Each structure stands twice: as structure tokens, then as C-alpha cells.
Chains A and B, each alone.
Chain A
Amino acid sequence: MKQSITLGRVTKFMGLGIFSTLKDLFTGKLEKEDFKNFIRKTIVPLASILLFIGIWHIGAKALYNKEADFKIQKALSDQGQAAADAMEACIASGDVSCKPNTLPSPAQVWDSYKSLLRDHNIIAADKAAFKEKTAVLNEKRIADGLDPITYTGRPSFVDQIFRSLKTVFAGFLLALLIAVPLGIFIGLSPTLKSSFNWFIQIFKPVSPVVWYLLVFMIVKTLLIDSNEDSSFTISFISVGLCSMWATLVNTAMGVSSVDKDYINVAKVLKLGPFQKIFKVVLPSSLPLIFTGLKITLSVAWMVLIAIELLAQSPGLGLFVWEEFQNGANDSNAKIIVAMFVIGIIGFLLDRLMLTIQNWVSFDKTEAI
């Protein structure tokens, strides 16, 4: 019982109220009066999802037919009736060589999703086996002062997700460590504010691609004599620099617009500069800082894909790029799977930030 309560609370908190409503439905707890609510909260979203999938299915089918017709027509005009018939048969058989390459249908995407999972399980098993096999050897190597042998096989889709998350969190952390302190300094001093303003205004709109190139130029030289792979370093720094601006601007704004009453309290109590910052200025600007951090995290996740792709750093971005390049039978479907995964993770990250924000900040409108 207790567990179900906490679950309900957590899901509600995370903005996933639909789950608790569904749970209530199955556990028979739903009251008559809740019916309207139930329709609004559960039926309508479910219906919209079904509608979306339906439109997608029809659209994909239409695109498929258009592409198939075009292929058959082309064969007919280029090589005559026989070739056209052969092409039609080939397309009907679903052979890779002549399959129309277009938007995959929902069913194909679902299949790809399952095959990616299967692939992951195989790789995970492979990894475990490898670890077991090399355990003894590695122990010896470590004892001898040698580097242990590591698994160098292909990463699975799930591995890619975790690498992307790692990159995005490293970038986010970098953004936080730069933007929050800098924002505080800028917010506290009007002189710094005016001297930094041009800097912020100019760099804020710069595209992720350009940031990547800039970081690439610098990091490449800095790491010139290490033979380690710098793609991770480059991509997380680029992500951090790209996404930190919202936090910087919001922190500076929050710090410079602290309620005059609170400043008066700080003055009357004669708080020292540190006390004033940590006990009055920062707490009162936390809501704005968190709004900034939330934007930063979603921007970081958004630009990550492009940057990974450029940096050839392992992760979802690279996954999408490689699938696009290799053009296998189900590449397009895999790209769509990645798209959904990216979207869902982005949504969850946003919710996570919102949850943290609700925890740490007081309600400014209610409090005096």
C-alpha cells in the first residue's frame, strides 16, 4: 500500500499522472465522478497517440507506394516490360536490393526497436563472456603493471544511449560550473554586467557546429601529445559551451534583481559579503537559476546529437549518422527508433529538472 502511494506521488510529481489514473482504473479504484477526469487524462491522450500512429502508418504507406511506382515506371521506360515485372516482383518479395527507401511504417520501427534490443542482449552476453574469459589474465596483467585488456567490440544501442547521457551530463556539469559562478559575479556588479554584455550577446546565438569547430581547434592542440581519443572531451566541452548561456543570463538576472526588502534585511543584520550572497542573494535567485539550468539541459541534449555526429564521438548522434550512411534494410527504421529515444529521454530530463526545481525552491509568489 505504502509503495503504491509513493509511486503515485512520484509519477504525479514527474508529470506522468496518466500512469496513476491507469493504475486506478485497473485496481478498480476509479469513482464515477472521476469518469470525466479519466476521459480527459487517459482516453484523450491515448486516442491522440493512436491517431498519430494511424496517420503515420497511412503516410508511410503512401510514400512507399509512390517510391515503388516510381521504380517500376523507371524500369519500364529504361528497360521495358520484363524489367518492370521483375522489379514489381522484387519489391513484393521485400528484397533489400530493390526495397523502396522511404519513411518506415510504425510496425517496421517497432520491429527495429525489438531487433536493437535483441542485439543489445547479444552484445551484453558477449561482453560478460569476454569479461569472464579475461578475468584471470587481466589480474595477472595488472599485477605485472600492464593495462588490462578491454572489450573492443561494437557498442550496442543501449550502450550508445548511456554514452550520450554521459556526454550530456559532463557538458551540463561544465555549463553549470562556468555559468552559475560567472552569472553571480555578473549579476552582482553592474560594471561586470556592462562589460560582459557584448560577449554574451555575441556568443549566445552561435550555432553548435561552430562551437564544435572552435573547441576542436583548441582541444586538438592542447592534447596534441596524448594519444588518447579526444572526441569525448571535445564533444562534452562543445555541449557545455553551447548550452550554458541560458543559465548564465538567468543567474545574472536572478542575482541582480533580488527583492529590495531582502537586501534591506541583509543590510540591517549587517551580513558580510559571503553571508549575503549565500544566505540571501542565492536562495532568492534559485528559482531563476533553475529555470536557466532546465533550459541548459534541454539545449545540451538537443545539440548533443549534432555534436556527436561531427566529433565522431560514440553515442546516439553517431549511431544515427552511421545508420544513415550504411543504408541497410532497416536503417531508416533504426533512425526513427533513435529519434523516439532521443525525444523521450529529453522529456524525462526536463521532468527531472522540474522535479529538482520544485524541491529546492520556495514559491516566490506566495511568500513575503
Chain B
Amino acid sequence: MAYLELNNIYKNYGQGDSETEVLSNINLSIEEGEFVAIVGFTGSGKTTLVNLINGLIEPTKGEVLFKGKPVSGTSHERGVIFQNYSLLPWLTVEQNVLMAVKEAFPKREKAVWKRKAHYYIEMVGLTPAINKLPKELSGGMRQRVAVARALSMKPDMIIMDEPLGALDALTRGTLQDQILNIWEKDKRTALLITNDVDEGIYMADRIIPLRPGPNATLGPEFKIDIDRPRDKTELNDNENFKQTRNAIIEYLMDIGEERKAKATEEILLPELTPIDFVK
């Protein structure tokens, strides 16, 4: 039995005439300890998929099973890094992380909470900004706070919605490694939503494209058979990496073309003849 299972998921938004089916017939199963990445175009329903898994919303049809049990509501077992960071603006970096630690480990002492919080803040390199409010941080720093907050709860499965989008390449690399470290060390299960194919290949065991919405559905999966730990610089020369990368990008370009073709079909251009000024 899979660790996380999505069976024939459909999700509609809106009611009546304005009802749209954002996700259709999503089937996904993730094994324990696996690292799966989902890549997709903007607006295709990635965040919707994430919220279905973490329990913030319910599917219109189908079922989400976590450890064999249907998901109902959120749980500390599934940690989330939100796409828009969702830090509480009236709390400092430390307080934002502490709040999560306290909820995840309610029976510990205050000193333990603090130590845990500081450990994760240090890990994302934000110790100098520990007493700052979110509005005093850059976008990338905010994202790192969100990463620290999610990891500090020690979830069994970690769900990341484009967690590193606003970071520069260097910080991005370090954080990718840190997330991988934690995933490997504690044998977590991870689901990563990303728009960066290279990031997906570097981090995940499998990459699954989400086809553009509405009626978005999952495409064929691409297995990444590259040994861990993976080395970023060597990766570029790895034949396997090159092949997989090309295959995924080709697939994405194809569905991108399809989408474009669909879009142009719907737009009827008015029949106008341009006036010729140069006679």
C-alpha cells in the first residue's frame, strides 16, 4: 500500500454556470521515503493539488489516502511550505517558527522549543534576522522562514509548493541540499511542486508533469535514475540526466504548444484590412 494515494481526484471551483473543473482524474501514489516532484505551468492547479493533499480543501470527487486512511482536515504529519510564505506579519522570525514548534511538540519545555526553533532558523541562515518582522525581510528570506517553520514540526511527509521560487541560484542550491539532507536523514517522504525542471531532476526520484488546466491531469511520470548524493556540477555531464531533462522539456514544450494552439483557436480575429498610408 502506498504512503500517499490519490484516487480519481476531481476538483471543481465555483457554482452553477461559473463552475470549472480545475483538476480531473488525478491519480498519484507516493511510496514511503520517496521524493516526488510535480512540474506544471502557472495556473494549472498545482496549489489546488497541494491543498487537497494537506487537507485544507476537499476533492469534489475521489479520495486522498494518507497511510491508508482518508485525509480529513490538516495534520501535523503533513508539513506544508506555502507558495506565498504565509508568515504571520505581527510575529518575528523566531516567533513564527516557535509557534509551529510549540504546536508540534506541546509537551516540551520552553527551552527545548527555543532550541529547536533556533536550530532550524540557523539552518536556513536567518540567525542574524531572528528578531525581525516579516516586512523587514526580503522575499527570499521570508521563504526561508517558511521552510524553517515547516521543517521544525518534523512532519512525516513534507509538501512544498514552489518553496524556492524567489531565491537566487546560490541560496537556492544550499536550501535544496538542506531539504535533501533532512529528507534523507529522517527518511521523510517529500512532494515538491516546482516550475524548474533542473531542480526537480536534482532533488526527486520521480518527476510528474501536471498538464495545463482547466481539467488538468497528471502526465506520464519520468523516473530519475541517478545515484544519490547527486553532484550539481557533475550532473551536467551525466548522460542519464541529459536524456531525462530533454525528454521532460520536450514533453512540456509539446503540451505548451497544444495549449497555445487551443488558445488561438478560440480567438476569432476580426476581418480588417489595414489602411495603406504609403500610396
Contacts and interface: CB of A to CB of B under 8 A. Distances in A.
Interface of A: 261-262, 264-265, 267-271, 275, 279-280, 283-284, 286, 361-364, 366-368
10 contacts: A261-B86, A262-B86, A265-B82, A267-B74, A269-B100, A270-B74, A270-B75, A284-B88, A284-B90, A367-B133
A366 B142 CA distance: 13
A367 B99 contact: no
B87 interface: yes
Contact of A367 (B82, B89, B100, B104): B89
Nearest to B57: A264
Nearest to A265: B86
B76 A364 contact: no
B84 interface: yes
Contacts of A279: 88, 99
A72 B75 CA distance: 90
B135 A264 contact: no
B31 interface: no
B86 A283 contact: no
Interface string B72-99: 0111100110101111111000000001
B90 A283 contact: yes
Q: Is the interface of A mostly helix, strand, loop or mixed?
A: helix
Given A269-B99, A270-B75, A270-B76, A368 B88 contact: no
Nearest to B79: A268
Contacts of B55: 267
Contacts of A283: 88, 90
Contact of A362 (B75, B100, B104, B133): B133
Contacts of A262: 86, 88
A366 B134 CA distance: 9
Nearest to B86: A261
A291 to B, nearest CB: 16
The list of the 4 closest CB pairs from A to B, nearest first, reads: A367-B89, A367-B135, A261-B86, A366-B135
A283 B134 CA distance: 15
A270 B153 CA distance: 12
Contacts of B100: 269
A183 to B, nearest CB: 19
Contacts of B142: 368
Nearest to A365: B135
Nearest to B153: A269
B247 to A, nearest CB: 35
Given A267-B56, A363-B135, A367-B135, 12 more contacts: A262-B86, A265-B86, A268-B54, A268-B56, A269-B103, A271-B103, A279-B88, A286-B90, A362-B133, A367-B89, A368-B87, A368-B142
Question: Which residue of A269, A270, A271, A363 has the most chain B CB atoms within 10 A of its CB atom?
Answer: A269
A368 B89 contact: yes
Interface in B222-258: none
B239 to A, nearest CB: 41
A362 B54 contact: no
Question: Which residue of B54, B80, B90 has the most chain A CB atoms within 10 A of its CB atom?
Answer: B90
Nearest to B101: A269
A270 B54 CA distance: 12
B135 A362 contact: yes
A368 B115 CA distance: 26
A284 B88 CA distance: 8
Contacts of A270: 74-76, 103
A286 B84 CA distance: 22
Given A261-B86, A364-B89, A268 B135 contact: no
Nearest to A286: B90
B89 A362 contact: yes
A264 B88 contact: no
B82 A264 contact: yes
A270 B78 CA distance: 11
A278 to B, nearest CB: 12
A162 to B, nearest CB: 36
A196 to B, nearest CB: 27
A302 B60 CA distance: 55
Nearest to A283: B90
Contacts of B75: 270
A366 B103 CA distance: 27
Contact of B88 (A265, A275, A286): A265
A54 B135 CA distance: 49
Interface string B182-212: 0000000000000000000000000000000
A368 B99 contact: no
Given A270-B103, A364-B89, A367-B134, A261 B82 contact: yes
